[in-house]
Structure formats: C-alpha cells, structure tokens
Chains A and B, each alone.
Chain A
Amino acid sequence: MADLNVKLWRGDDNGGELVDYTIEAQEGEVVLDVVHRIQATQAPDLAVRWNCKAGKCGSCSAEINGKPSLMCMTRTSVFEPGETITITPMKTFPIIRDLVTDVSFNFKMLKKVPALKPKAREADGTYRMFQEDIERGQEFRKCIECFLCQNVCHVIRDHEENKTNYAGPRLFIRYADLEMHPLDTNDRLSLLQDKMGLGMCNITKCCTEVCPEHIHITDNAIIPLKERVVGDRYDPLVWLGKKIFRKSKTKVAVTE
C-alpha cells in the first residue's frame, strides 16, 4: 500500500514542534496503530497513552487534524489518499511530553464531588430499581473519562483562570448521575452553582459533539441541572410541577 504522511507534535513543556514521519499504510488500521508503528520503528521514546485499543478506557485522546478524537477509534481510511495526518496533544491541558498531557485537573475536580449517600434498603434487604428508573443514569455512567469534552469546552480551553471555579462537562455529568440516582439522598445543587460554575456554561454543545460515547451531555445532564438550580432557588413550585425524578434530599455544605 501507499505511504502515509504523519505529522506528530513532539516536545515538552519547554516547547516543541510538528515532526514529519513517513510510514507504510496498512489495511484496516486506526490512527493509534500508526502511532504505535512509528514508536516501534522510528521513535521508541515517543510518549503516548493507551490501554484498551477499543474505545473503552478513554486513554488515547488527542487532536487529529484539529479534531478532538480517540486515536484508537479513528480509522486511517477516513483520510483522503495523500492527506497528511496531523496529531497533536489535547490543547486545554498542560503538556508533559509529546501526546501526553497533564489531566490531573479532572481528577482534582472529581475528588470534590460529594459522594453518593444511599437511602435505606427495603424491608426484604434489597434495593428495588426498575430499568426505566436507571436508564438515564446508565447513559451518564457510560462515560469513559477521555476528557475530550473538558478539552473542547471554551470556558476552560480559552480561559485558564476558570480552572479554579469551573468543573466542566464531564463533571456536570457526574453530578447529574448522582442527582438523578434512585438511591441518592444528597443535594449538590448549591455547590454546583456556587463553586462548580454550572452557570458559566452557555450551552454551546461543543462537548456533546465530541463525546465518543454519544452521551447527550447538554440536553440530558446540563440543562436539567440548570433547571433544577433555578427551581430550587427561586420557585419551588416549578420543580414540583416538573416531571423530574426527585427525592427529598439533604443539602451538602459548600466546602472545598
């Protein structure tokens, strides 16, 4: 088969550049395979993360021809013959080396999420939940933490300073997962609005567009959360009237 022309960003926090590689194309490959073959034959020290090679672990996020994607789920056949494939690290996070970025921001934010506080079991010792009660939660829990949505969200992509007071779409999903969880009795709405920057999201939907798990981040998580915050603060009748699954909840103190 013909050769592929690949440009890879190489460098570290002191700077770097796009480096050209030429490698023979092979049938049925994904971009991660090409990167691995470059690593194995031409650049053994190349830094790249991966684990599952099947879109299940969310390790191999990068920007391919400018588009935030999983390298393991992007087939090389989608490029025109002769088209150069340019692979750069996610832009929103600090560079460690080559395609590897420092994504610790996300883990710090996840640590601040108040945990699930389950209600008591039924008299027979079980929890009864019906498939229709958990379908929405299951959608959120498909998240593979690739952080591509965090990467494209302009609130942090263009404004480094917001990283202290904005949790980002992945985190909003996590909050929605808990808020709509049939067993949970915590209330995190004030925290979300006051410390996690829910109000700063202006529903551009860029996050939803890049999600490899096709989670409806804005429609199913962010907008319902925003509605709940509004309802909770200003007009209890609004949310009582809404057909949202809700239980009585204890409020969580707003702490760091």
Chain B
Amino acid sequence: MTDELNEIHSHDVVIIGAGGAGLRAAIEARSLGASVAVVCKSLFGKAHTVMAEGGMAAAMGNVWKEDNWRVHFRDTMRGGKMLNNYRMAELHAKEAPDRVYELEEWGALFDRTKDGLILQRDFGGHKYARLAHVGDRTGLELIRTLQQKATSMDIDVYMECKIVKLLKDSSGAVVGALGFWRNSGEFVLFKGKSFILASGGIGKSWKFTSNSWESTGDGHALAVTAGADLIDMEFVQFHPTGMVWPLSVRGLLVTEGVRGDGGVLRNSLDKRFMFNYIPEMFAAETADTEEEGDRWYEDKSNNRRPPELLPRDEVARSINSEVKAGRGSPHGGVFLDIASRRSPEYIKRRLPSMYHQFKALADVDITATAMEVGPTCHYVMGGVRVDADTAASTVDGLFAAGEVAGGMHGSNRLGGNSLSDLVVFGKRAGEFAAKRALGMTKDVEVDQAEVRLAVEEALAPFNRSQGDNPFKVQQEIQETMQNLVGIIRNQQELEQAHSEIERLKERVKQAGASTTSRRFNSAWHTALDLVSMITVSEAVAKAALLRKESRGGHTREDFPKADPEFGKINHVVRITNGEMSVKPEPLPQMTPELAEIFKDDVK
C-alpha cells in the first residue's frame, strides 16, 4: 500500500473507544459471534469513564417503590428541556435497570440497601433516589467490570493507538480506520464491516474542564468529516461544582453526590441562594423553604426537593450570577457546605474520594470546612446523529454510542444518566453493528490511495520543523472557547469566536512535531488532536450563533428566555464539499401514549 503501512487487522466490528460505551458494545458484538477490535488512545481501563463519581441512574425502585421507567423518562425529558430524542429517552429509561443488574452479575459490587439489594442515591433532577453507586467511584467499578468481562471474551484490544481517519468504499460505507501507535509512531489499518464510535466527549477545548487530555472530540470530528450528521452541538454542559482553587486543579469535578447526600450551596453572605433561582418549570416540585428542603432527605412523600438539586444548567447559571453580583467566595466560586450538615463519619463513608481529593490537593478538610466550587466544562449533549433503536449514524457502516452520540439528553443531561446511557446504547450499538457485519457476505476493500493520503496528512506536523508549539495553539483554542463560547453567550462574542476560529484553523496547520522522533512524541500527538478540537469548536460556535434562545446547556444573554419555536427544532451540523453548515430540522414527535405522561406539566 504505502511504505508507511506494515500492519493491517481485519475484524467484523471495529470499536473506537474503550470507555463504558465501547466496552459494552464489544461485549455484545462478541457474544453474538462477531470478531471484535477495540481501539483506544490511552491504556486499557483509563478512559474517561473511570473518573465518573456519583453513580448510574436506573429506575429499579430499590429505595423508592414509586419509581418506574415513566418517572425516569419524564425527569430525563424535562431535564433536557424537552429537546431530547424521545425514543432514546424512552429506551434508556426502560432498559437501564437490566443493564445495571447485568453488571452486578458480571462482578460489580454496588453499595447495598439493608435488604441486600443495590442501593440508590439522590441526584439533581431525579424525582427519586435512583443512582446505583459505589461510594463516589462508580465509574471505576463500571469500567473495571466491563473490562474484566471483555478480557475474558477473546476481544482484541489495541491500546495507545489513535485513529486519525475513517475510510469509505465506493458505495459510501465506512470500511477502514487508519491509526498510529502512540508508542512507536507506526501506522496501522483496521478493516471492518461495521464501525462503532465510542470516543467520548469534547471538553478539552475549554480552559476550565473536568475532562482529560483524551476528550478532544476525535469521534465527533471523524464522523462529521466522513459525512455523518451531528446534532445539538450548541449544548455543552457546565457542571455547577468544579474545584476553583488551587489554580492547578481548577475545573476538577466535585460530584453532585455531595448535594445528593445533604450538601448545600451558600454565598459570601452565608445565604442558601438557590432559593432565589427556582424556575417556573420546576416550582411545583421544589421546596421554597430551607426547612422543607431539609426534611425532604428523610421524607420524600410530604416534602419537595431542595433547589440545590435542580438540573445542572439551572444551578450552574445561578452560581455564575452570584459570583457576578459580587457575592462569591475568595477565589471566585461559591461555598459548597456539607461539613455543617453531616457527621465526619458519614461524609468519609459516602464521599471518600472527595474527602481525599480536597485533603491532598487543596489542604481542605471537607468534614470541617466548606469547599469552594464553580462551574466547569463537563459534558457535551450534542453528538453524532443516530437512529434511536440501532445506534446507526447517517453514514453506512458507522454507529455511535455514549457521549459521542447526540439526542438522548436533549439540551441538558441529568447526572447519572450518562453511565446508564453508555451501557444501554453501547449494547444496542454492539448488537446492530454485529448483525450488520455478520449479514455481509463480501469482504471489504479499502482504497489504497486514500490510505496514502491519510498517512501523509498525519505526518504533516513533521514537515514543519519551524512549526508552532502545539501546546500553545491548544491553549489559544481553550481561551477562545472559554471566553467566547462559554456558559453565558451572546451574539457579539459568538461572532468574534467565529473569526478567532478561522484564524486558529491556520494556526493548527502550522503546529509542528518539535523533533523528528516518532516515538511517543507528545508534540505530534497534540498537533493531531488540534485538528479534532478546531473542527468541533467550529460546530459548537456555529450552532450556538443560530440558536437565538436560552435552553439547557445553551444560555444567550441577548435571548434570555426559551423560545417555543426553537423548542421544535434540532440543529444539524454537516460538512459538504469541505464546508460546514448548520440547518434546523424538526424534532421527532413523541407518541400520544408518551405525551400523556406530561399532560399536567407547566411548560
């Protein structure tokens, strides 16, 4: 093919990503008899999923018998401000409990109720205590369980390998993925009949983020570049509680479990300010006095939930307003206080890694003093447009599941709904990708010229010996997105973001590999990550400019209210002839039976 390519692997199903979604897909596809490859950028078991803390949402009804899939479905849709793909939300609510039980059978040791069942905890936006969890390290349990299951199933794992291009055949179906080994810098081609993107999020494009180096939006960029549609890219979730001090840990996540377990938010006047920010949509189910909110933890039937547990977008915006009004904490956040409300033993048992994190990194004992917290970029609701039932994208042979897929969470995701999303749709993607592959009779052909071109593109940073420092360019992208496409947006700043992005596209083309060595060369790796980051940044900024309303993870200063007309559309991002465009398309309408669930709601 080319001198550069000495390694080719052929599989029925090739999965890009080894987080919760990728691993669950792999297990499903393998159990149906497909030969499966899992490719990931980090070591096996280090994907972002490992960092998840609070838990996974599933209406099992172990703590509150009243809970069922309808209530979970309603919470999810309302949390997403009704912009969710209703069918995904429905499947998710119905199937999540089985996916949790299956993890238990594969060895996951969730915390237990007194009756020996899986314990569930409270989280924002969920009517009942619904999150299966292991202290505050649920993601570790999830990824380890899936990893151990996959390891026992004869699945081929290709770790520390970055996919840089999806390759299509003449019919337009994806048939190959070109990657390189981070360790050696050698190229490798994966040929396959079905491909599943499970590549996670995009948070690395913001300065203050809870996301790791991996979250550069590679999957989003690979998909849109291959001709697939993305939807809802303007919706980016800023988690209300990230650490703000010391600077070096700014953005690091403080789990919502702190509030679920009794923690409250206060401003510099020591006031629980969230009572001033209860939106009409949630007024009927939110406590309006501190006393009622406090009673709710023990007696949910006769009391309403405290406003600290409103959906994340509401809480993040409120914190932002308090800080702007000059009522913030010394380092520009607000106070999250559980110390004065729960015993040290309780806090250490329920939130061991938060205790450890603050103690070790900030010299703060959270059982004695309040934490300082503020919003941090956390999750992207937007992603690859998929068919709800099969997880198929709009390009043949390409599927997507997990954070890289769009639609499920609408304009705002509820906490705990991601881990369950990963396993529900990971399983579905694995199933339908395997069925497609096993039903194909012909072998796939990859165009050699295309491979050659993709290799050349990937090696380009080595031809820029005088190239720019990629870390510098990365920082400029992060500053741009943080300052101009952040938690609160407006027309003028978004327009400025557009011209910045055009300028940065040129900067990305100048980023160099620093030395000629290809062996674990971080400059080269980062230079290639920039290509994804800038593509995704452009998609977010373009969609954000067009949505002239505020909804969920998209807040416009100049259009502070939700607009019912925008409530009827999704923005679809597409690349045609090298040009990225954004078009509105009507939101799928739910069936009358499902609509019935919302009949008494305030809009």
- CB contacts (< 8 Å) of A242 on chain B: these are none
- Given A44-B522, A51-B212, A96-B520, are A111 and B151 also a contact pair (CB < 8 Å)? yes
Q: Does A58 contact B (CB under 8 A)?
A: yes
Q: Using known A-B contacts A29-B248, A96-B183, A134-B112, determine if residue A51 contacts B515 with beta carbons closer than 8 Å.
A: no
> What is the 8 Å Cβ interface bit string for chain A, positions 117-149, against chain B (1 contact, 0 not)?
010010000111111001001100110110000
Asked if A33 is at the interface (CB within 8 A of a chain B CB), the reply is: yes
Question: Interface 1/0s, chain A 189-225, versus B by CB < 8 A?
Answer: 0000000000000000000000000000000000000
CA gap between A33 and B469 in the complex, in Å: 18
Total interface residues in chain B, CB < 8 Å: 64
User: Closest residue to B252 on the A side, CB-wise?
Assistant: A54
Q: Give the interface centre of B116, B249, B362 by most chain A CB atoms within 10 Å.
A: B116
- Closest chain-A Cβ to B27's Cβ sits at a distance in Å of 12
Question: Is A141 a contact of B213 with CB atoms below 8 Å?
Answer: no
The A interface, classified by DSSP as helix, strand, loop or mixed, is: loop
Contact A130 B45 (CB under 8 A): no
Q: Which of A97-105, A228-236, A244-252 contacts B (4 or more CB under 8 A)?
A: A97-105
The answer on a CB contact under 8 Å between A56 and B252 is: no
B361 & A75 in contact (Cβ 8 Å cutoff): yes
A30 to B248 alpha-carbon distance, docked (Å) = 8
B residues within 8 A CB of A113? 148, 151
- A83 sits at the interface (CB 8 A): no
Tell whether B46 is near chain A: CB-to-CB under 8 Å: yes
**Contacts of B526 on A, CB cut-off 8 Å?**
44
B248 contacts across to A, CB distance below 8 A: 26, 28-30, 33
Between A and B, how many residue pairs show CB distances below 8 Å?
159
CB <8 Å contact, B116 and A129: yes
Contacts of A111 in B (CB 8 A): 151
Roughly how many angstroms separate A145 CA and B521 CA in the complex, as a whole number?
A: 24
Question: Which among B101, B111, B514 is the interface contact of A45 at CB below 8 angstroms?
Answer: B514
Looking at the assembled complex, report how far the CB atom of A105 sits from the nearest CB atom of chain B, in whole angstroms. 12
Contact present for A47 and B520 (CB under 8 Å): yes
> Which bracket fits the contact residues of A?
35 or more
Using Cβ atoms and an 8 Å threshold, which residues of chain A touch B362? 28
The contact sample of 25 A-B pairs, CB cut-off 8 A, is A28-B361, A44-B469, A45-B514, A45-B517, A51-B47, A53-B252, A55-B357, A55-B360, A56-B50, A56-B353, A57-B50, A57-B212, A75-B360, A97-B520, A102-B183, A113-B148, A118-B105, A126-B117, A127-B104, A127-B105, A130-B116, A134-B112, A138-B134, A178-B107, A183-B107
Q: Which 7 A-B pairs have the closest CB atoms?
A: A28-B246, A128-B116, A44-B523, A115-B152, A47-B520, A40-B471, A44-B514
| Residues of chain A having any CB pair with chain B under 8 Å | 12, 26-30, 33, 39-41, 44-59, 73, 75, 96-98, 100, 102-103, 107, 110-111, 113, 115-116, 118, 121, 126-131, 134, 137-138, 141-142, 144-145, 178, 181, 183-184
Q: Interface residues, chain B, CB within 8 Å of chain A?
A: 42-48, 50-51, 101, 104-107, 109, 111-112, 115-117, 134-135, 137, 140-141, 144, 148-149, 151-152, 159, 183, 212-214, 245-249, 252-253, 353, 356-357, 360-362, 469-472, 475, 513-515, 517, 519-524, 526
